[in-house]
Structure 1
Amino acid sequence: MDIGAPLKDLGVVNVKDLIARLTTLTEEDWTGNTMRQDILASEAHSATDNIVMKTEWHPSASNSNLQHFEDLVYVWAKSKGHDPEKFLPIAREDTDFWPIYTMPEWLKFKDVLEPVIQQAIAPLRTPRGVISRLALVRLKGGGQIAPHVDGHAMATRAHRIHVSLSSTPTVEYKIDGRKFTMEMGHAYDFNNRVRHSVRNKGRNARINLFVDYYPDRGLIINNPLNVSHPVHVTPTPRIQ
């Protein structure tokens, strides 16, 4: 979302328990699921390792010609030699724009993430707001994300919040031509609708929590004539 400024500090968030959980993660936890790099994000984000817990999706976001996110995940998993059941979404929330899918990884982090999310979105909270994307994102030492503008449709509507989970003062964010750093334990409203890049000039990995917050899920009207279902699996259960 274009927030009218490159970056806004939303304040301090208690990330102690979440950081403790991160120390237990293995390299396989970070690199074993490349779904975001392969089918969800732009090429600019290929430099990062991701643990995706929520994502919005619509057929227009993919050139696969698949009409259901479940089928997209199924086909991707099969192409990688994975068991699709381990990667399929576990819940779906509808909005007036795109549906939002909760991924299996959410269950592994829910207990430590929910308090962090509630603190991070507190300055922006609205009665009908919803989390549209949620991911832990790691940029290794020496890595960089090339200059880009987030072009997916929800980027125009949702706040992109970064919660900094690592003390990496050598990580430089360049947003709309200006340079910034982030402090560990702070949440930031990040303007991803202007040109931005990230460069990790240090040796230690930068780890951030991404929280996309859609302020108003709108009026949801389901078309009773739409009886289409995924081809390969059963539809994801809907939650209100």
Structure 2
Amino acid sequence: MRNFVKVADSVDVLPLLLAVAQRRHLWNANPIRTTHPGTAHAEVDDILLRFNVVPDNDPAKVIDDTECINFPALAELPEARALIFGLMAKVQGERLGRCMITRLKPGGRILPHADAGAPATYYERFHVVLLGEPGCIFRAGDEQVNMRTGEVYWFDNTQVHEVFNNSAEDRVHMVIDIRTGK
């Protein structure tokens, strides 16, 4: 496969999944990705852990395309730090970018889109699957995968990609952008 590479499996994601379930108030506290006009992510719920805007949801306050700051949710979910920095070590990351947890309900869809600009070309995009069941299809370019719970993938987010959750469960991923030595 050219657009997806499985970099780990059998990762213990249960502590983070449980922590997220116990902190429902974190979902959509910062809806900048899901509410702007024309977003491909309108059906997604987010928990932003690190992002490149200030946490008051004002898109005019973009810090920089590559500079990200910690959001309060990261402090409330210390279980995420072990997964984030474990992955950073595994891929020999040099800089940490955006980190977010996304949820797509059964029957939901992320519309086709390709990420562009500095965040997509400066960072590598990784997905840590916190909950993934059969029937949830992630397509990038002419390839598709069914990412399962505990797997970690790199994927080329500059390719047109989309997600269909045809499973009976939520699809929950932690998305991590990491600058690597390439």
TM-score by length of 2: 0.86
- Aligned equivalent of 2:56: 73
Q: Mind listing any 5+ residue stretches in structure 1 that lack a counterpart?
A: 57-68, 77-87, 217-240
Which residue, out of 89, 98, 116, partners 1:122?
89
SS of aligned partner of 1:31? coil
Does residue 37 in structure 1 map to residue 4 in structure 2? no
The CA deviation string for residues 137-173 of structure 1, in whole angstroms up to 9 with x for no partner, is: 0011100011110123210121110000113111001
Distance in structure 1 (CA, Å) of the matches to 2:4 and 2:106: 23
Does residue 102 in structure 1 map to residue 100 in structure 2? no
Kindly indicate whether the alpha-carbon contact (under 8 Å) linking 1:6 and 1:176 is maintained by their aligned counterparts in 2.
yes
- Aligned equivalent of 1:223: none
The correspondence of residues 144-223 of structure 1 with structure 2, limited to 5 A, is 144-215=109-180
Kindly indicate whether the alpha-carbon contact (under 8 Å) linking 2:66 and 2:122 is maintained by their aligned counterparts in 1.
no
Structure with the higher fraction of residues in strand conformation: 2
Letter paired with 2:43: A
| CA shift for structure 1 position 29 | 3.0
Distance in structure 1 (CA, Å) of the matches to 2:143 and 2:6: 15
Letter paired with 2:68: I
Q: Mind listing any 5+ residue stretches in structure 2 that lack a counterpart?
A: none
Change (3 A) 1:17 1:149: same
Highest Rg: 1 or 2?
Answer: 1
Kindly indicate whether the alpha-carbon contact (under 8 Å) linking 1:36 and 1:52 is maintained by their aligned counterparts in 2.
no
Change (3 A) 1:155 1:31: same
TM-score by length of 1: 0.66
Letter paired with 1:8: V
- Aligned equivalent of 1:25: 23
Change (3 A) 1:51 1:17: same
Distance in structure 1 (CA, Å) of the matches to 2:86 and 2:3: 21
| CA shift for structure 1 position 74 | 6.6
SS of aligned partner of 2:50? strand
- Size of the alignment, in residue pairs? 179
Kindly indicate whether the alpha-carbon contact (under 8 Å) linking 2:30 and 2:57 is maintained by their aligned counterparts in 1.
no
The correspondence of residues 220-239 of structure 1 with structure 2, limited to 5 A, is none
Does residue 46 in structure 1 map to residue 42 in structure 2? yes
The CA deviation string for residues 88-118 of structure 1, in whole angstroms up to 9 with x for no partner, is: 9xxx8x9xx7322211111101x21111112
Change (3 A) 1:148 1:75: closer
Does residue 10 in structure 1 map to residue 4 in structure 2? no
| CA shift for structure 1 position 42 | 6.2
Kindly indicate whether the alpha-carbon contact (under 8 Å) linking 1:10 and 1:120 is maintained by their aligned counterparts in 2.
no
